[in-house]
Amino acid sequence: MEFKVNDIAMILNGTVEGDGEIIIHNISKIDDGVPGTLTFLSNPAYIKYIYSTRASAVIVSTDFVPEGALSCTLIRVNDPYTALAELLKMYQQLKPARSGIEQPSFVSSSARIGEDIYIGAFAYISDSVIIGNNVSIYPHVFIGDNVFIGDNTTIYAGVKIYADCKIGSDCILHSGAVIGADGFGFAPNAEGPFSKIVQVGNVILEDMVEVGANTCVDRATMGSTIVHRGVKLDNLIQIAHNVEIGENTVMAGHSGVAGSSKVGRNCMIGAQVGISGHLKVGDNVKIGGQAGVMSNIADNSTIIGSPVQDHKDFMRCMAIFRRLPQMSGDISDLKKWMKQSEQK
């Protein structure tokens, strides 16, 4: 697909500075641009590339002031990153959508299927499943008994959704995600082996939830594991049984939340964060990468470290930690001086 720069600017409510008749046929990175492509500038660290990029047009903020000659056309918008996101979303929607039920696949006679559906080859739709309108289910997906899937949801290849789980509207589940596997519940046994605690709950993903590739959300022991509206989970995340994730929280890859912990709304959780079980993390909390959360966290906190502490305290501690070799030498010299003083 091809668009003129002027057309793109109109879609983004932006203004053109340069040749608006240039034809754009693809997207590129600003440091690796080629003619005929569109790129964007939002991170100040990449400003230097705008003077050398070969991309034909660059989306910039309205207050960007060039300090040298430019060979590209500018599209000025309030927020370049948001503008690019909207443009990519529109581009994705323009692609022809798949439709129909491919064979071989299995759809139970008791399943209720909505309109404008796509079910890929080798997908398996179990008994009493309810699937809404405009849902895309890619090949090798398994959907267990009594699962509900809302409208406009996309389930990519290889996803497994166990029985009784509920998936909201406008959700995206990426390849390899597992929704509703058993929680990690075992009781010590006096005879030696652990006894499995049967997990009889389910998982509820509310509307507009995105689950990354190979991420697991375990079913509750009793009741529901709940991922609320607007939550975004990265790849390779573990959400344990009876966990609750608040609205619009985002969590980066390799993180995990242990059983029965509650994470609040609008939280930002970095990569490789571990949250212990039966804790409460408040609303609007920011947790730095590789943090270890071992106690309750108050609303609006910004924390880092393992165990976690306030990020300002952590930075002060790190500043001291980096000086420990020198401090150790200073202490050794001081001890020698004190010993010599005592001998005198």
Number of Cβ within a 10 Å radius of residue 58: 25
Cα 142 from Cα 151, distance rounded (Å) = 18
3-state helix, strand, coil in the chain (%, to 5): 20, 30, 55
Q: What is the DSSP letter of 307?
A: T
Only one residue has tokens 């020198």, namely 326
Cα 108 from Cα 105, distance rounded (Å) = 10
Q: What is the DSSP string of 10-66?
A: HHHT-EEES-TT-EE-EE--GGG--TTEEEE--SGGGGGGGGT---SEEEEETT---
Residue of 25, 174, 241, 254 marked catalytic: 241
Side-chain-side CA neighbours of residue 70 (13 Å): 21
β-strand pairing of 186-187 with 195-196: antiparallel
Closest by Cα among 187, 197, 194 to 218: 197
Q: What is the dihedral of CA 66, 71, 77, 80, to 10 degrees?
A: -90
- What residues are paired with 297 via a beta bridge? 281
- What residues are paired with 76 via a beta bridge? 15, 60
Q: What is the dihedral of CA 201, 206, 209, 213, to 10 degrees?
A: 20
Active-site residue, 241 included: yes
Type of residue numbered 121: A
Which residues are part of the catalytic machinery?
Answer: 241
